[in-house]
Amino acid sequence: MAKAVGIDLGTTNSVVAAISDGQPWVIPDENGEAILPSCVGLGADGKLLVGQEGIRQYAAAPERTVKSIKRQMGTNHKTSLGDREYLPQEISAIILRSLKQRAEKALGEEVTQAVITVPALFTDAQRQATKEAGEIAGFEVLQVINEPTAAALTYDFRNEETERVLVYDLGGGTFDVSIVEITGDVTEVLASHGNNRLGGDDFDRRLQLHLIELFYQKHQVAVPEDAAIQARLLRAAEQVKIDLSQHAFTAVREPFLVSQKKKALHLEADLSRETLETLLKPLLMETLSAIDRALADASMQAKDLDRVILVGGSTRIPLVQSLVSEHLGQAPVAGIEPDLCVALGAAIQAGVLSGESIDAILVDVIPHSLGISAVSDTVYGLRPGMFSVIIPRNSVIPISRSEAYSTTFDDQDMVEVNIYQGENAIAKENVPLGSFLIENLPLRPAGDLKIEVHFDFDHSGILAVTATEQGHGQQSSLIVENAATSRLSSQDLKQSRADIDSLFEVELDEDTGLDAEEDIEDD
Ligand code: AMP
């Protein structure tokens, strides 16, 4: 039987997935990379460069490299590469062909059929061009499906009840929010809104400008408009952004960025998640208005939604997750990596259409929240011993997360880090997992020292906790072996989240009613 795959043909990145043993999985390249940058180039020697190779060439030879071709789909825009001109579907076909080869190599058999995803807002002409791209690449295109539908399928496959799902998709270059209704095998997009010029690339540019500003403040020298220097800054900005999704602080070091009067000037700066959030918040507020418009178009309110799903690499940013949850009054379901779930959903659809049997998707999750005891600034004033969650329950493992805390007393020379597992707002009501001290801190007024607490939870259930004082770098850590994990399907996840939510509400009412999340300081 011919093998069918699902393909997420994205503006920035593309992904291919297949079904094996009833489970969808993303097919990596020979280096283990799941994501193929949607970039095509022609080397100086006429060699075709697809994906990462294309990206590497882009800074040096943009005239021989094509990015974001998806924006041109459905038009007759011609792109010159070498001595030939290409239509958008031909460039897309090169990306699809590369994914086809990847899949055939990994599966050891010919792959002839595909389901390809497109944004819900794509017109007929854009869908037709996508189908043609698939055919040029040598696929029989079983179906062109909407990206939010594919994402929803990953979570809702074969659920008999009608579910209304909001899919918030923030990628590298585009943003969409869609409301999808699913009943059994039938999915319908009720409303879709977006901005096809908003995404991670804009965040990188904001941060790039900030880095230029920091450089100027330090050296009183403007960063030149030179393309290579700017490209270096943009790459550094993206790395900072990605690091700050996991860490509360990060350092950027770009040595020899500019030379002036034979003197090399370096960019060296420390950035906090807080600074990044201040830069990104205005852009993200726009996505919340799009949510409201989509809800209004679907004649729905936030409370009518059964699920919220986050899709796209930029939804790994903690601020995106918290703004969406606060705005909708419900936490988005996590479980499947946001940049892979569209391809996985496409693979499920491809499997269904080609007659494969598919099981519910299982993921490894942390069944209880993990965090530390801290002083919280609550409506009743500062309260010690509150549970400050660092990794929320049901997060998919492996996962790394950090939070920043500050000292509470003047001349505090040590901090005790007490680690707990559970859902109670009072730390000691949860299960203690261990504690350690970070000592010999420099003597400073209360609040002056910033301490980053980093949790790293791996596949084998080992939790590594590290506390680092930001200014002087004092560090201590503890390894907790065999912290609990469990395997859940997305349906189980939803149920267990709902169960715990209701328990938690009761506990909060009976207990203190405090919000442990505000302005946390360490004790
Ligand atoms: P996508 O188009 O869905 O592949 O998303 C690509 C975008 O996600 C790029 O702008 C990446 O910089 C961004 N991205 C990927 N991982 C992260 C991360 N951990 N934190 C923040 N942004 C990320």
The CATH number of the domain where 31 resides is what? 3.30.420.40
Ligand 1 lined by 200 (C-beta under 6 Å): yes
Does residue 189 sit within a domain?
Answer: no
Most confident of 172-186, 288-302, 415-429, 452-466: 288-302
Ligand 1 lined by 119 (C-beta under 6 Å): no
Does residue 63 sit within a domain?
Answer: yes
Provide the pLDDT for residue 366: 80
Does residue 206 sit within a domain?
Answer: yes
* DSSP secondary structure string for all residues of 436-471: EEE--PPP--TT--EEEEEEEE-TTS-EEEEEEETT
Residue-wise pLDDT tens digits, 431-440: 899 999 998 8
* DSSP secondary structure string for all residues of 233-299: HHHHHHHHHHHHHH-SEEEEEEEEEEEETTEEEEEEEEEEHHHHHHHHHHHHHHHHHHHHHHHHHTT
Residue-wise pLDDT tens digits, 176-224: 999 999 887 778 899 999 998 899 999 999 999 999 999 999 999 999 9
- Please tell me which residue, 227 or 247, carries the higher pLDDT value: 247
Q: Given 90, 147, 403, 452, which residue is catalytic?
A: 147
Please tell me the pTM assigned to this model: 0.82
**What's the gap in Å between 322 CA and the centre of ligand 1?**
17
Which tokens in the block code for residue 271?
Answer: 């950035």
> Does the active-site annotation cover 8?
yes
Is residue 200 within 8 Å of residue 238, measured between CB atoms? yes
The CB density around residue 96, as the number of other CB atoms within 10 Å, is: 25
Residues 111 and 47 in one domain: yes
Residues 231 and 114 in one domain: no
Residue nearest to atom 22 of ligand 1 (CA): 314
Ligand 1 lined by 317 (C-beta under 6 Å): yes
Using the predicted structure, report yes or no on whether residue 476 has a pLDDT greater than 50: yes
Ligand 1 lined by 312 (C-beta under 6 Å): yes
Residues 497 and 475 in one domain: no
Nearest-atom index, ligand 1, CA of 245: 20
Provide the pLDDT for residue 521: 42
Residue nearest to atom 2 of ligand 1 (CA): 171
Provide the pLDDT for residue 395: 78
Provide the pLDDT for residue 487: 63
Does residue 404 sit within a domain?
Answer: yes
Provide the pLDDT for residue 197: 86
Nearest-atom index, ligand 1, CA of 173: 2
Does residue 454 sit within a domain?
Answer: yes
Ligand 1 lined by 245 (C-beta under 6 Å): yes
Which tokens in the block code for residue 441?
Answer: 């801190």
Provide the pLDDT for residue 488: 63
State mean pLDDT over 41-46: 92
Ligand 1 lined by 313 (C-beta under 6 Å): yes
Using the predicted structure, report yes or no on whether residue 34 has a pLDDT greater than 60: yes
State mean pLDDT over 491-507: 58
Nearest-atom index, ligand 1, CA of 244: 20
**What's the gap in Å between 98 CA and the centre of ligand 1?**
22
Residues 124 and 211 in one domain: no
Q: Given 70, 100, 241, 494, which residue is catalytic?
A: 70
**Residue 217 CA to its chain's centroid (Å):** 32
Angle between helices 227-246 and 273-297 (to 10 degrees): 80
Provide the pLDDT for residue 333: 82
State mean pLDDT over 65-83: 92
Angle between helices 200-219 and 227-246 (to 10 degrees): 110
Ligand 1 lined by 10 (C-beta under 6 Å): yes
State mean pLDDT over 462-482: 86
Does residue 327 sit within a domain?
Answer: no
State mean pLDDT over 228-251: 94
Distance CA(445)–CA(357), nearest Å, equals: 63
Provide the pLDDT for residue 482: 67
Provide the pLDDT for residue 515: 31
Nearest-atom index, ligand 1, CA of 246: 19
SS (H, E, C) 339-369: CCHHHHHHHHHHHHHCCCCCCCCEEEECCCC
**What's the gap in Å between 31 CA and the centre of ligand 1?**
19
Nearest-atom index, ligand 1, CA of 238: 12
> How does residue 512 score in pLDDT terms, banded at 50, 70 and 90?
very low
Residues 354 and 269 in one domain: no
- 237: CATH: 3.90.640.10
Using the predicted structure, report yes or no on whether residue 513 has a pLDDT greater than 60: no
Residues 115 and 226 in one domain: no
Mean pLDDT of the chain: 88
Provide the pLDDT for residue 480: 84
Ligand 1 lined by 12 (C-beta under 6 Å): yes
Residues 121 and 2 in one domain: yes
**What's the gap in Å between 414 CA and the centre of ligand 1?**
37
- Residue 309: strand, helix, or coil: strand
**What's the gap in Å between 172 CA and the centre of ligand 1?**
6
Using the predicted structure, report yes or no on whether residue 253 has a pLDDT greater than 60: yes
Provide the pLDDT for residue 54: 94
Q: Is the dihedral of CA 3, 8, 9, 15 positive or negative?
A: negative
Using the predicted structure, report yes or no on whether residue 274 has a pLDDT greater than 50: yes
Compute the 3-state secondary structure of the chain and give helix, strand, coil in percent, each to the nearest 5: 35, 35, 30
Q: Which residue from 422, 318, 436, 418 is spatially nearest to 374, judged by alpha carbons?
A: 418
Residues 143 and 238 in one domain: no
Provide the pLDDT for residue 502: 60
Distance CA(103)–CA(20), nearest Å, equals: 12
Helices (H), 298-432: 318-328, 341-353
Pocket test for ligand 1, best of 69, 167, 242 (most atoms within 8 A of CB): 242
**What's the gap in Å between 399 CA and the centre of ligand 1?**
16
**What's the gap in Å between 372 CA and the centre of ligand 1?**
28
Residues 356 and 438 in one domain: no
Does residue 185 sit within a domain?
Answer: no
Provide the pLDDT for residue 398: 83
Which tokens in the block code for residue 277?
Answer: 């959030």
Using the predicted structure, report yes or no on whether residue 417 has a pLDDT greater than 80: yes
Pocket test for ligand 1, best of 35, 202, 314 (most atoms within 8 A of CB): 314
Residues 395 and 452 in one domain: yes
Domain that holds residue 270: 200-279
- Please tell me which residue, 481 or 330, carries the higher pLDDT value: 330
**Residue 123 CA to its chain's centroid (Å):** 27
Nearest-atom index, ligand 1, CA of 174: 2
Residues 16 and 123 in one domain: yes
Does residue 173 sit within a domain?
Answer: no
Q: Given 90, 132, 169, 254, which residue is catalytic?
A: 169
Ligand 1 lined by 314 (C-beta under 6 Å): yes
| Stretch among 211-220, 311-320, 350-359 having the lowest mean pLDDT | 350-359
Which whole-number Å values give the CA distances from 427 to 248, 260, 281, 385, 401, in the listed order? 22, 54, 31, 6, 19
Residue-wise pLDDT tens digits, 117-163: 999 888 889 999 999 999 999 999 999 999 999 998 888 666 678 88
> How does residue 65 score in pLDDT terms, banded at 50, 70 and 90?
very high
Pocket test for ligand 1, best of 201, 339, 399 (most atoms within 8 A of CB): 339
State mean pLDDT over 101-107: 96
Ligand 1 lined by 315 (C-beta under 6 Å): no
> Does the active-site annotation cover 522?
no
| Domains of the chain: total | 3
**What's the gap in Å between 9 CA and the centre of ligand 1?**
15
Provide the pLDDT for residue 510: 36
Residue nearest to atom 9 of ligand 1 (CA): 172
Residues 354 and 440 in one domain: no
